[in-house]
Chains A and B, each alone.
Chain A
Amino acid sequence: MLSIRNLHASVDGKEILKGLDLEVKAGEVHAIMGPNGAGKSTLSNVLAGREGYEITAGEVIYDGKDLLAMPAEERAQAGIFLAFQYPVEIAGITNMYFLRTALNSIRKARGQEEVDAVDFLDLAKERMQLVELDPALANRFVNQGFSGGEKKRNEIFQMAVLEPRLAVLDEIDSGLDIDALKVVAQGVNALRAPNRAMVMITHYQRLLDYIQPDFVHVLMGGRIVESGGKELALELEKKGYQGIEIAPPGETR
């Protein structure tokens, strides 16, 4: 579903990703772990199509298409979803209006019929339960006055409504206490499906206790330096990132 090959990306002339490779197949959950500054957020932003990143080499193929050539909205319409590390607050737009606009934009792009307000409400109510989102938040402005946990739950709620094929979850565990983390994880687990892939980006092993990945990758210095099963996460937990031996790269690093 997703092939990242030798991806190099820079911000303001500074190279952050330095030859990243990753293969993700439908139904798989991949965890990408790494210390601060490893390039985790750059990877998620590049996948979602945020501007301000310069791709200097490599390619990203999603469903046989050149992902990097697509603007952000087309990626979403093609089934990519980014759960933001810092969800954005938008005054003046209610959560429900925001999400219905998003859903209908995606449906329209796919040639599907738009969902009317009544049907949407039913759908939203059902999906809200997945992450135990307070229905009162539905009619509040997007993320305004939401607690940290509510914002993260809101991201997963959006994912549940938009039903992406590839979800990139950028540090959905950051800033959450253990109870909030459990709820968010439970929502994510409920959305695991054979036709859906997930890439979870995180700093902490703790998240993987609640969402068990099929593969764990260590991202350091802009490259995947080690890949393995979920036992790799436990090893990381014991040894820390310093304990990971960085495989010598093909070229200079």
Chain B
Amino acid sequence: MTTVTTTNVPFLAEAEQFAAARPAPSPFAAEVREAGRRRFADLGVPTPRQEDWKYTSLLPVTRETWTLRDGGAGLISAAEADRLSFGAWAKYRIVFAGGWVEPSLSTFPPAGAGVRVMPLAEALADASGPAARLLQEAEENALGALNEAFLQDGVFIDIAADADVAEPIVLLHVGADRAMAHPRILVSAGRGSRATIVEHFVSTAPGAVTFTNAVTDVRVGENAALTHVRIQREGAGAHQVSQLRVHQERDSRFRGGVYTLGGRLVRNDAMIRLAGEGAECWLDGLYLTAGEQHVDNHTTVVHAVPNCQSHELYKGVLAGKSTGVFNGRVLVPQDAQKTNAEQENHNLLLSRDATINAKPQLEIYADDVKCSHGTTVGQLDETAVFYLRSRGVSEAAARGLLTYAFAVDLIERIEAEPLRAGLEELVRGWLPSTGESQT
């Protein structure tokens, strides 16, 4: 085993101890860890000195000492898992407790369901298998490298060609107090398939202090349609960085939705590569922040080939002293003609102390394209508040209703009914707390 010496890079010592204490499930997995550790040693923790991290500091993460759990057992009960999932509606649910798949709380799709969900250990046994091919050859992202350095548990979701999987596959990630987790999700949507994956992040206790570094790699095959919904509703002590990296083949459709209601520090990176002609993607985002929360959404859409479409709609409601970041990068190289790229980011500031840094970043080198972007930052329409009050609705209720109205189109985009209803209730429940922060 190689030992990295004399370094101040956080996490490296832990990664080494981890590799020594917990042998990788396969030689290939060991290689991935080793490569990740080396790469992370080179790249280090991102800092605000880097343009991409200008507004987000990971200091609150690096100054903590994080433990790694040995497994998921005992962290939560089945009843608790159901409660946190908005009920036991999901037919296929895999529970990650403290970063570990907990089989006793999970229901995997049976044979013949059109989708296989395999533990990562098993899926990565074969260095040239379909799961291994989803890992980036050279990990360019520091947090992706960190995730690999701690590679232990995760799942490979393999959707068979032409399978129409009606039931969403729900991954419930439960954070453990004082622990970090580096779940890795690999998804292969076979040609002509159709499926929905939900990643739902929760805390066992509202004050649990956690660090989650979740990486999801997705390949959407030709003419396939895949939806990925990320719901972040961890407690006020949660730190989460997430990456969603999607490779889309010809005529494929991908819809990503990220709904952030919780967490002290959240950073989401969505990177979509439209690699086959006729591919189309929709990226939805809704962030509701209050108190001292910080939520940063970075999106990158690469129109690598002609005739692709991308549509982004991110909305934020910021209260208290919270801060938000939206950075939407769209790259259209010279030969990506007939590209259609739309991007919108709208923000509602409910208090004077809330801040949003919104930046569209369109890099267009082709000339026959349609690209648009719109960014707004505003407050509630006082005329509308008065209209409601003149009809007998209290001021607090009027503000709540109008705030909900601002966000409702994104909530309505969630197709799984129990999820949508659960989220709707959460958003409605969130609103009164912002009423107090008004002046």
B392 close to A76 (CB less than 8 A)? yes
- Judged by a CB distance under 8 angstroms, whether B416 is at the interface is no
B389 close to A72 (CB less than 8 A)? yes
B387 close to A77 (CB less than 8 A)? no
CA distance A92 to B401 in the complex (A): 9
A72, A91, A99, A103: which contacts B386 (Cβ < 8 A)?
A72
B405 close to A93 (CB less than 8 A)? yes
Q: Say how far A73's CB is from chain B's closest CB, in angstroms.
A: 5
- Judged by a CB distance under 8 angstroms, whether B383 is at the interface is yes
A73 close to B404 (CB less than 8 A)? no
* Residues in B whose Cβ lies below 8 Å from that of A60: none
CA distance A113 to B298 in the complex (A): 48
Interface string of A102-132 (1 = CB under 8 A from B): 1101100100000000000000000000000
* Residues in B whose Cβ lies below 8 Å from that of A92: 402, 404-409
* Residues in B whose Cβ lies below 8 Å from that of A82: 390
Q: Say how far A162's CB is from chain B's closest CB, in angstroms.
A: 7
- Judged by a CB distance under 8 angstroms, whether A49 is at the interface is yes
- Judged by a CB distance under 8 angstroms, whether B393 is at the interface is yes
- Whether A73 touches B394, Cβ cut-off 8 Å, given contacts A90-B402, A92-B409, A93-B401, is yes
B381, B392, B406: which contacts A105 (Cβ < 8 A)?
B392
B393 close to A88 (CB less than 8 A)? no
B394 close to A91 (CB less than 8 A)? no
* Residues in A whose Cβ lies below 8 Å from that of B387: 84, 87-88, 90
A101 close to B394 (CB less than 8 A)? no
* Residues in B whose Cβ lies below 8 Å from that of A72: 386, 389-390
Interface string of A136-161 (1 = CB under 8 A from B): 00000000000000000000001000
* Residues in B whose Cβ lies below 8 Å from that of A91: 405-406
- Judged by a CB distance under 8 angstroms, whether B397 is at the interface is yes
* Residues in A whose Cβ lies below 8 Å from that of B388: 98, 101-102
CA distance A106 to B394 in the complex (A): 10
* Residues in A whose Cβ lies below 8 Å from that of B9: none
A49 close to B389 (CB less than 8 A)? yes
- Judged by a CB distance under 8 angstroms, whether B368 is at the interface is no
B393 close to A73 (CB less than 8 A)? yes
Interface string of A45-66 (1 = CB under 8 A from B): 0001111000000000000000
A49 close to B390 (CB less than 8 A)? yes
Q: Say how far B121's CB is from chain A's closest CB, in angstroms.
A: 46
CA distance A102 to B395 in the complex (A): 12
Task: Categorize the interface residue count of chain A.
Answer: 20 to 34
* Residues in B whose Cβ lies below 8 Å from that of A75: 390
* Residues in B whose Cβ lies below 8 Å from that of A81: 390-391
Closest to B408 in A: A92
CA distance A185 to B217 in the complex (A): 63
CA distance A92 to B405 in the complex (A): 4
Q: Say how far A115's CB is from chain B's closest CB, in angstroms.
A: 13
A162 close to B391 (CB less than 8 A)? yes
Q: Say how far A193's CB is from chain B's closest CB, in angstroms.
A: 19
CA distance A84 to B404 in the complex (A): 24
Interface residues of B in 333-388 (CB under 8 A from A): 381-384, 386-388
- Judged by a CB distance under 8 angstroms, whether A71 is at the interface is yes
A90 close to B392 (CB less than 8 A)? no
B390 close to A76 (CB less than 8 A)? yes
B386, B404, B407: which contacts A50 (Cβ < 8 A)?
B386
B383, B395, B402: which contacts A73 (Cβ < 8 A)?
B395
* Residues in B whose Cβ lies below 8 Å from that of A93: 401-402, 405
B383, B395, B397, B406: which contacts A88 (Cβ < 8 A)?
B383
Q: Say how far B405's CB is from chain A's closest CB, in angstroms.
A: 3
B386 close to A51 (CB less than 8 A)? yes
Q: Say how far B317's CB is from chain A's closest CB, in angstroms.
A: 12
* Residues in A whose Cβ lies below 8 Å from that of B406: 91-92
CA distance A76 to B391 in the complex (A): 6
- Whether A105 touches B386, Cβ cut-off 8 Å, given contacts A91-B405, A92-B404, A92-B409, is no
- Whether A105 touches B405, Cβ cut-off 8 Å, given contacts A49-B389, A76-B389, A77-B392, is no
* Residues in B whose Cβ lies below 8 Å from that of A84: 387, 390
A73 close to B392 (CB less than 8 A)? yes
* Residues in A whose Cβ lies below 8 Å from that of B393: 73, 101-102, 105
CA distance A79 to B402 in the complex (A): 23
* Residues in A whose Cβ lies below 8 Å from that of B404: 92
* Residues in B whose Cβ lies below 8 Å from that of A48: 390
CA distance A31 to B365 in the complex (A): 64
- Whether A162 touches B392, Cβ cut-off 8 Å, given contacts A90-B387, A93-B401, A105-B397, is yes
Closest to B389 in A: A72
Closest to B383 in A: A88
Max count, chain A CB within 10 A of own CB: residue among B386, B394, B407, B408: B386
* Residues in B whose Cβ lies below 8 Å from that of A103: 392
* Residues in A whose Cβ lies below 8 Å from that of B398: 73
CA distance A26 to B88 in the complex (A): 58
CA distance A56 to B267 in the complex (A): 52
A106 close to B392 (CB less than 8 A)? yes
Task: Please provide the 7 A-B residue pairs with the shortest distance between their CB atoms, ordered closest to farther.
Answer: A92-B405, A102-B391, A76-B392, A106-B392, A72-B389, A88-B387, A105-B392
Give the interface of B toward A (CB within 8 A). Answer: 381-384, 386-395, 397-398, 401-402, 404-409
Q: Return 25 A-B CB contacts under 8 Å, by A number.
A: A50-B390, A51-B386, A71-B389, A72-B386, A72-B389, A73-B389, A73-B395, A76-B391, A76-B392, A77-B392, A81-B390, A81-B391, A88-B381, A88-B384, A88-B386, A88-B387, A90-B387, A90-B405, A91-B406, A92-B408, A93-B402, A98-B388, A101-B401, A106-B391, A158-B391
| Beyond known contacts A84-B390, A105-B392: 12 more, CB 8 A cutoff | A48-B390, A49-B390, A50-B386, A72-B390, A88-B381, A88-B386, A93-B401, A101-B393, A103-B392, A105-B394, A105-B397, A158-B391
Give the interface of A toward B (CB within 8 A). Answer: 48-51, 71-73, 75-77, 81-82, 84, 87-88, 90-93, 98-99, 101-103, 105-106, 109, 158, 162
